[in-house]
Each structure stands twice: as structure tokens, then as C-alpha cells.
């Protein structure tokens, strides 16, 4: 088990489109396990492989309420096969530090992929699960929540982030 470093904006790996996984071998299973530990440690409720510098089509998530036992899920080569309705929820992103914004997304989605045993699965989600699935699958396309907010909000965030990085750099 290992905690992985989470890449943050503007790391170019976050803009890369992830490639499909052709074989679920030990390295993929180890990566999934490490991503789950990294997600819980962050803490977060989802993580895509690009966020840990591995542009593979692999996501993990767990939207179980805090007072219930953990129930992590792994999805390999996930694809949204249908989406309907719309919802706007405040989102965070482990790769976009200290920023939350409302993002408009489908209210319900159906996602197809493989589980960690290579078995085809179909996940139908609404509410928070639908949001997290869409957010993580966006990561696999190289799309960040910043790409789904207004140009003005995005510009303000970019400015703030540049300042933050400069001050981190100056103090080291």
C-alpha cells in the first residue's frame, strides 16, 4: 500500500486524455488500491488515475456517508452511456486546491465499465454519486471542473493559484 502524490493545477498531466486499460494485471490492481488509500487520506470521495500522474482510464470513488462503513468502488474504462436531467452542486477537486464552485451536470447517469475483477458493470447513479462519476470521468478526458465554470471565475481562480504558487516558491 502506498500514498500517491496528487497532481495539482496547472500540472499538464491533468489535461491529458487517459488511455484505455487493456489488461487488468497486478500493476493496475496495485494502482487502484493505492488510489483508494490516497483518496481516503486526502480526504476525498473520488480520484482519477490522471490525478496521480497515471493517464489510464481508471477511477475510484466512495460516496458512503461518514457514519457508515467504507465502500470503495473501482471502475476501469468507465463510459457514460446515458445522462438525463440537470443539477447544480458545489464541487471540490483534489487537483484544484482550496476551491469550490457550483457546476451544472446531469442529474442521473448510467455508467458502464469493468470492476477490478474485469467483470462488466453498469452503475446508475443520481445526486452525489452522479456528480462524482461525471467529475471523475471528466478527469479521464483531461477536463477539470475549472473548464465547466464561467470564464470570469476561471480567470480569478487562475490568478489566485499563480499567486499561491509564487508565494510557496518564494518561501522555499
The residues binding Zn ion (CB under 5 A) are: 93
Peptide bond into 43 cis (omega under 30): yes
Q: Using an 8 Å Cβ cutoff, are 46 and 57 in contact?
A: no
Q: How is residue 12 written as a grid cell?
A: 499538464
The Cα–Cα gap between 86 and 84 comes to 7
Query: In the set 9, 34, 44, 52, which binds ligand K1U (CB under 6 A)?
Result: 44
Is 49 among the residues that bind ligand K1U (CB under 6 A)? no
Q: SS3 of 4, please?
A: coil
Q: If binding is defined by CB under 6 A, does position 125 make contact with ligand K1U? A: no
Task: Look at the alpha carbons of 34, 39, 40, 46 in this order and tell me if their dihedral is positive or negative.
Answer: negative
Site string for ligand K1U, 24-43 (x = CB under 6 A): -------------------x
Q: Does 131 bind ligand K1U (CB under 6 A)?
A: yes
Q: Are 53 and 89 in contact (CB under 8 A)?
A: no
Q: Which does 45 bind (CB under 5 to 8 A by kind): ligand K1U, Zn ion, none?
A: ligand K1U
State yes or no: is 136 an active-site residue: yes
Q: For residue 138, state whether it binds ligand K1U (rule: CB under 6 A).
A: no
**Residue 130 binds what, of Zn ion, ligand K1U, none (CB under 5 to 8 Å, by partner type)?**
none
Catalytic, out of 5, 79, 122, 136: 136
Kindly state whether residue 54 participates in binding ligand K1U, applying the rule CB under 6 A.
no
Question: Can you point out the beta strands (E) in the chain?
Answer: 46-48, 58-61, 73-84, 87-91, 101-105, 108-114, 120-126
Binding residues for ligand K1U (CB under 6 A): 43-48, 91-95, 131-132, 135-136, 139
Residues known to be catalytic: 136
Amino acid at each position: 500500500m502506498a500514498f500517491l502524490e496528487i497532481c495539482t493545477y496547472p500540472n499538464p498531466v491533468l489535461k491529458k486524455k487517459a488511455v484505455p486499460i487493456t489488461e487488468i494485471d497486478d500493476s493496475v490492481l496495485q494502482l487502484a488500491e493505492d488510489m483508494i488509500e490516497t483518496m481516503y487520506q486526502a480526504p476525498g470521495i473520488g480520484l482519477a488515475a490522471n490525478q496521480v500522474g497515471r493517464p489510464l482510464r481508471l477511477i475510484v470513488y466512495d460516496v458512503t456517508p461518514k457514519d457508515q462503513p467504507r465502500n470503495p468502488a473501482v471502475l476501469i474504462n468507465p463510459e457514460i452511456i446515458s445522462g438525463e436531467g440537470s443539477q447544480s452542486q458545489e464541487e471540490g477537486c483534489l487537483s484544484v486546491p482550496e476551491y469550490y464552485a457550483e457546476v451544472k451536470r446531469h442529474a442521473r447517469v448510467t455508467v458502464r465499465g469493468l470492476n477490478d475483477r474485469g467483470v462488466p458493470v453498469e452503475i446508475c447513479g443520481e445526486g452525489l454519486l452522479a456528480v462524482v462519476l461525471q467529475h471523475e470521468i471528466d478527469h479521464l478526458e483531461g477536463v477539470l471542473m475549472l473548464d465547466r465554470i464561467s470564464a470570469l471565475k476561471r480567470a480569478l481562480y487562475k490568478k489566485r493559484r499563480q499567486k499561491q504558487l509564487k508565494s510557496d516558491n518564494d518561501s522555499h
